[in-house]
Amino acid sequence: MVEVMTDKQMQFIAWLITTATDKCQTMEEVREMNKEIRKHSIGFKEEAEELKKED
């Protein structure tokens, strides 16, 4: 079963990412951070879309 995040959890994740990217000095550093985030979030989008189909 897929767990759905609450608005507060999503807000925290957004804050966490923006805080981290604020510390980057170049766009290349931001891109590298985005690659890492994507690497660790593989499957989340597919799971969310699957949940929508079930509703």
pLDDT digits (tens, 9 = 90+) for 31-43: 999 888 888 877 6
d(CA 23, CA 33): 11
Extents of the domains making up the chain: 7-54
Most confident of 4-8, 32-36, 45-49: 32-36
Q: For position 26, what pLDDT does the model report? A: 96
Residue 52 reports pLDDT greater than 80: no
Region of 14 on the Ramachandran plot (φ > 0 left; ψ -120 to 50 alpha; else beta) = alpha
Residue 15 reports pLDDT greater than 90: yes
pTM over 0.85: no
- String of b and e for 2-31 (b: at least 16 CB within 10 Å)? eeeeeeeeeeeeeeeeeeeeeeeeeeeeee
Mean model confidence pLDDT for the chain: 82
**Of the candidates 48, 34, 43, which has an alpha carbon nearest to the alpha carbon of residue 5?**
48
